[in-house]
Amino acid sequence: MKKHTKLYLQEMGYDETDFICCEVCGAKAVDIHHIEARGMGGTKEADTIENLMGLCRDCHIKYGDIKQHKEWLQDIHNKKLFRRTR
């Protein structure tokens, strides 16, 4: 399992066998997406839960690596993190 996937599961309280919802559409998340992608000139810092979100394959393809959607994805993820900490 990739380090960022393990971090996401741990921080969000999931187990490998849990159904993880896509943070955009609610389908089964199969990808843990870096919102600020390293390959697109993003952060060089270590992975953080604030930069990782669960996405289904369709949403990852539609929105994942498109700069115009980055802020929108971050807003969605921030709301999920906020609800988790309440």
- pLDDT > 70: what percent of the chain? 90
List of long-range contacts for 42-50, beta carbons under 8 Å, 24+ apart:
47/3, 47/4, 47/7, 48/7, 49/7, 49/8, 49/11, 49/12, 49/81, 50/77, 50/78, 50/81
What is the pLDDT at residue 84? Answer: 74
Distance CA 36, CA 19 (A): 24
Rounded to the nearest integer, the mean pLDDT of the chain is 91
Has residue 43 got a pLDDT over 90? Answer: no
Q: Can you give the pLDDT at residue 86?
A: 59
The boundaries of the domain holding residue 80 are: 3-85
Q: Summarize the confidence of residues 56-66 as an average pLDDT.
A: 95
* Whole-number Cα distances in Å, 26 to 20, 42, 58, 62, 86: 9, 26, 11, 15, 21
- Residue 4 pLDDT more than 90? yes
Is the Cβ–Cβ distance between 74 and 48 less than 8 Å? Answer: no
Q: What one-letter code names the amino acid at 4?
A: H
In this predicted structure, what is the pLDDT of residue 40?
Answer: 62
How far is 2 from 4, CA to CA, in rounded Å? 6
Total count of domains within the chain: 1
pLDDT at residue 39 is higher than 80: no
